[in-house]
């Protein structure tokens, strides 16, 4: 394994701040598969490598795991198991997240929350839409879907931020040990709080099922009188609380930020909100909410894209890098909703692709339709830059806009 000298100097903080130039140099100088010393892991970084490993046409890979995932989520986690357990976990999730069922409930679940939040904005005011709209909508809708209807927005936001800090604490030393064990403190604290609220909720749902996601997970597909055990559900619940609550909020911010870099396109979307779905598709490619949080493990010793890998090595899927692969996209760092049609990998690939992709896209569509209809002359505050953060999960940390009708 030959590692370019410059790559040894790439830090976790650098990747958290802006991984785009690092990915571009890796694609240009290293190739489809790169070992990043800052994380002590392999990364698939091109369209070709992400497609091959994600789709796994020859059954050479297993669900991926790593010390941070194990610590924060535990097992069996839908991201990291395969076989019968993975099929059961997906059968628990998928029936309510496929396009047709999502369409049947997403509007009444989402639109009232969006309207209520937007009604509190004053015309002509300057607002940080991330904290005032995007994140509250995201956590409220996912929380209500799962069954946390009595948990307030601030608590839900604290949950996903805490879980995210722990899950992203992936830097390892050469022996594979976590470099910063204290980095799990935020996720440990919120995990304890989540369990304290969820345990009694689960006990109630075992006796009194309702229409919530957690209730369906407990009961659906089980023999009469049986439910899935709490500890079987928790790892996937933590996964959904993190991934599900951050995805729509980050995506909303990304789309509005992307449009603000293209005033002509922004004007068209503001005049015609039916274009929001097209704007969302490009936002997913431009800054994927899930940059590389999914991984795979090698099922055996192999040579892959010219690199020799041992069995059980982890390969992180750099979907964000694949979405900027110059062999697939012209000017990939530019937001452009007028691009020729081309699939993206923001939701992953293969059997471990994101279960909530339809849900997140629909929540984002409804929120932005309402925002743009209410404030059709919305504009970015020119006095504030847009800070974009995150390596495993990524999105604008703030988007300040002047709200004009």
**pLDDT attached to residue 175:** 83
Is 80 exceeded by the pLDDT of residue 1? Answer: no
**Rounded average pLDDT over 187-191:** 97
Is 80 exceeded by the pLDDT of residue 284? Answer: yes
Is 90 exceeded by the pLDDT of residue 213? Answer: yes
Q: How far apart are CA 211 and CA 217, in angstroms?
A: 10
Does 173 or 321 have the greater pLDDT score?
321
What pLDDT band is residue 3 in, cutting at 50, 70 and 90?
Answer: confident
User: Contact 245/270 with Cβ under 8 angstroms?
Assistant: no
Q: How far apart are CA 148 and CA 115, in angstroms?
A: 20
**Rounded average pLDDT over 47-58:** 96
Q: Which residues pair with 309 in a beta bridge?
A: 302
Where are the chain's structural domains? 5-402
Please give the model's pTM, rounded to 2 decimal places.
0.95
Take residue 142 and report the two structure tokens written for it. Answer: 């996912």
Q: 103-119 in b/e burial notation, b at 16+ Cβ within 10 A?
A: eeebeebbbebbeebbe
What pLDDT band is residue 241 in, cutting at 50, 70 and 90?
Answer: very high
Is 80 exceeded by the pLDDT of residue 190? Answer: yes
Is 90 exceeded by the pLDDT of residue 176? Answer: no
Q: Which CATH architecture has domain 5-402?
A: Orthogonal Bundle (1.10)
N-terminal to C-terminal alpha carbon distance within the chain = 58
The pLDDT tens digits for 231-240 are 999 999 999 9
**pLDDT attached to residue 361:** 97
What pLDDT band is residue 173 in, cutting at 50, 70 and 90?
Answer: confident
What pLDDT band is residue 108 in, cutting at 50, 70 and 90?
Answer: very high
Candidates 348, 366, 163; CA nearest to 255 is 366
Is 90 exceeded by the pLDDT of residue 316? Answer: yes
Sort residue 147 into left (φ over 0), alpha (ψ -120 to 50) or beta. Answer: left
| Burial group, residue 340, by CB count within 10 angstroms (0-12, 13-18, 19+) | exposed
Candidates 233, 228, 227, 229; CA nearest to 73 is 233
The pLDDT tens digits for 74-89 are 999 999 999 999 999 9
Q: How far apart are CA 160 and CA 362, in angstroms?
A: 20
Q: How far apart are CA 394 and CA 319, in angstroms?
A: 12
The pLDDT tens digits for 32-43 are 999 999 999 999
**pLDDT attached to residue 232:** 97
Take residue 26 and report the two structure tokens written for it. Answer: 């890796």
Candidates 100, 399, 364; CA nearest to 249 is 364
Candidates 378, 358, 355; CA nearest to 368 is 378
**Rounded average pLDDT over 83-98:** 95
Q: At what angle do helices 230-260 and 153-167 cross, to 10 degrees?
A: 100
Is 90 exceeded by the pLDDT of residue 47? Answer: yes
Three-state secondary structure along the chain? Answer: CCCCHHHHHCCHHHHHHCCHHHHHHHHHHCCCEEEECCCCEEEECCHHHHHHHHHCCCCCEEECCCHHHHHHCCCCCCCCCCHHHHHHHHHHHHHHCCHHHHHHHHHHHHHHHHHHHHHCCCCCCEEEHHHHHHHHHHHHHHHHHHCCCCCCHHHHHHHHHHHHHHHCCCCECCCCCECCHHHHHHHHHHHHHHHHHHHHHHHHHHHCCCCCHHHHHHHCCCCCCCCCCHHHHHHHHHHHHHHHHHHHHHHHHHHHHHHHCCHHHHHHHHHCHHHHHHHHHHHHHHCCCECCCCEEEECCCEEECCEEECCCCEEEECHHHHCCCCCCCCCCCCCCCCCCCCCCCCCCCHHHCCCCHHHHHHHHHHHHHHHHHHCCCCEECCCCCCCEECCCECEECCCEEECCC
Candidates 56, 93, 89, 61; CA nearest to 75 is 89
The pLDDT tens digits for 331-348 are 999 999 999 999 999 999
Q: What angle do CA 218, 221, 225 make, to 5 degrees?
A: 65
Take residue 145 and report the two structure tokens written for it. Answer: 């879907």
Q: Which residues pair with 395 in a beta bridge?
A: 389
Cβ neighbours of residue 211 closer than 8 Å, sequence gap 6 or more: none
Percent pLDDT > 70 in the chain is: 100
- Calculate the average pLDDT of the chain: 95
**pLDDT attached to residue 260:** 97
Percent pLDDT > 90 in the chain is: 93
What pLDDT band is residue 109 in, cutting at 50, 70 and 90?
Answer: very high
């Amino acid at each position: 394994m030959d590692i370019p000298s410059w790559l040894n100097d790439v830090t976790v903080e650098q990747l958290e701040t802006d991984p785009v130039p690092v990915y571009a140099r890796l694609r240009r100088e290293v190739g489809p598969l790169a070992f990043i010393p800052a994380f002590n892991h392999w990364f698939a970084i091109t369209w070709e490598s992400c497609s091959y490993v994600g789709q796994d046409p020859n059954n050479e890979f297993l669900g991926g795991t790593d010390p941070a995932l194990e610590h924060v989520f535990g097992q069996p986690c839908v991201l990291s198991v395969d076989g019968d357990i993975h099929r059961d976990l997906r059968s628990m999730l998928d029936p309510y997240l496929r396009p047709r069922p999502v369409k049947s409930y997403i509007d009444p679940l989402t639109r009232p929350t969006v309207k209520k939040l937007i009604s509190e904005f004053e015309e002509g005011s300057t607002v940080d839409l991330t904290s005032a709209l995007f994140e509250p909508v995201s956590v409220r809708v996912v929380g209500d879907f799962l069954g946390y209807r009595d948990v307030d927005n601030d608590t839900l936001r604290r949950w996903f931020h805490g879980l995210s800090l722990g899950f992203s604490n992936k830097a390892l030393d050469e022996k594979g040990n976590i470099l910063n064990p204290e980095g799990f403190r935020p996720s440990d604290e919120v995990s304890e709080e989540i369990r304290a609220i969820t345990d009694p909720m689960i006990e109630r749902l075992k006796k009194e099922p309702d229409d919530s996601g957690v209730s369906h997970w407990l009961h659906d597909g089980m023999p009469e009188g049986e439910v899935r055990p709490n500890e079987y559900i928790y790892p996937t619940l933590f996964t959904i609380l993190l991934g599900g609550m951050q995805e729509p909020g980050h995506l909303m911010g990304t789309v509005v930020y992307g449009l603000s870099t293209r005033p002509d396109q922004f004007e068209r979307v503001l005049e015609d909100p039916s274009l929001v779905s097209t704007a969302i598709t490009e936002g997913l490619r431009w800054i994927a909410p899930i940059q590389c949080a999914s991984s795979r493990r090698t099922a055996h010793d192999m040579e892959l894209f010219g690199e020799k890998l041992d069995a059980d090595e982890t390969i992180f899927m750099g979907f964000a890098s694949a979405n900027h692969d110059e062999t697939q996209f012209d000017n990939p760092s530019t937001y452009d909703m007028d691009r020729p049609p081309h699939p993206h990998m923001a939701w992953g690939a293969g059997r471990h692709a994101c279960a909530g992709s339809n849900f997140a896209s629909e929540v984002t569509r409804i929120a932005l339709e309402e925002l743009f209809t209410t404030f059709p002359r919305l504009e970015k505050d020119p006095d504030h830059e847009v800070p974009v953060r995150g390596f495993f999960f990524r999105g604008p940390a703030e988007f300040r806009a002047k709200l004009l009708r």
